[in-house]
Amino acid sequence: MRQHIISIKEFEKKEIDALLDRAETIDQGNYDPKALEDKILGVLFFEPSTRTRMSFEAAMARLGGASIDMGGVEVSSVVKGETLADTIRVVSGYADAIVLRHPKEGAAQLASEFASVPVLNAGDGAGQHPSQTLIDLYTIRQAMPLEGIDVGLLGDLRYGRTAHSLAYALTQYDVTIHTLAPEGLEMPPNVVEELRERGVEIVVHDEIGEFTRALDVMYVTRIQRERFPDSASYYAVASSYRVTPELLTQAKEQMIVLHPLPRVDEIDSRVDALPHAKYFQQARNGVPIRMALLLEVMG
């Protein structure tokens, strides 16, 4: 049993596999709906992320537990300038575990140092988002074995934390990572170096057709408009990194497309009807994965 869930980097392969197995069992309906009957989850979201929050609350409710939150950030003590450390110490007295979403990187690490109950990181700044990565791995595993596959990361690989997190987790498996990113949004050299040191092969692409043909899994992330000086340069880039049915005619038949959602227009809505599209399945997988995590820290 693990106390805190802060970063996917701290998980060994056998721990990841055990969590995915547990989520699969839960997914098949084999779980005790009263397992967390007497437990309370403190939901601390310092920035909005409706889906992540709802899926944690749904997971807690399915296990018979209750959730409490602090209301909107604008009405809470945050506006009065209370430190995160103090908030965490106080909420530790109310709840049996804390799920934290915070705009500052490292916030979950800090929280774990001040909490007397387990902390689950639901995303801190551009940093870690371990439950999302477990969802990604779980969705891949539903379609194919995690070993011996080619996984492509497409989009904003500089700021896209979900792509980094997934890449780190994939280093535990025998996987080749392919990347394709607009100029200036490439994966940071430190991240690439660390991934290579962990023994993974990384292939950097500059052409979307060649990239698409190589893959078993295509992981698409959002390219944010605010990273570009003007909307014209954004649209120029966005259109050449857009996943369309025409592009996917080049893909392997079994190739799956994932996206952490919400998407804007990086995936054409016509792709939704194709068998490649697994991103809504991926979103649905949030609940069993988060149930497995809640059981891990409180069960």
| Nearest-approach distance from CB 41 to other proteins, in angstroms | 22
- Residue 262 annotated as lining a ligand binding site: yes
- Residue 51 annotated as lining a ligand binding site: yes
Give CA–CA dist 26/3, Å, rounded. Answer: 21
Taking the least distance from each CB to other proteins, the nearer of 103 and 275 is 103
Residues 76, 109, 176, 224: which binds other proteins (CB under 8 A)?
109
Residues 113, 206, 207, 210: which binds other proteins (CB under 8 A)?
113
Residue in 20, 83, 4 with CA at minimum distance from that of residue 46:
83
Give CA–CA dist 246/271, Å, rounded. Answer: 9
**Residue 188 DSSP class:** P
Catalytic site residue from 14, 50, 80, 249: 80
Residues 104, 158, 225, 227: which binds other proteins (CB under 8 A)?
104
Q: 145: cis peptide before it, omega within 30°?
A: no
Residue 65's contacts (CB-CB under 8 Å, 6 or more residues apart) are: 36, 37, 38, 39, 40, 41, 294, 298
Query: Which residue stretch of 15-23, 41-49, 52-60, 190-198 sits at the interface with other proteins (rule: CB under 8 A)?
Result: 190-198
Catalytic site residue from 102, 129, 276, 278: 129
- Residue 34 annotated as lining a ligand binding site: no
Residue in 218, 214, 288, 286 with CA at minimum distance from that of residue 21:
288
- What DSSP string describes 213-238? HH-SEEEE-PPPGGGSSSHHHHHHHH
Place of tokens 């197995």: 21
Catalytic site residue from 22, 101, 164, 178: 101
Region 68-97 residues binding other proteins, contact defined as CB under 8 A: 83-85
Our finding on whether 107 is near other proteins (CB under 8 A) is: yes
Sequence ranges of the binding site for L-aspartate: 80, 161, 222
What are the catalytic residues?
Answer: 51-52, 80, 101, 129
Which residues sit at the interface with other proteins, rule CB under 8 A? Answer: 7, 83-85, 102-107, 109-110, 113, 124-128, 190, 193-194
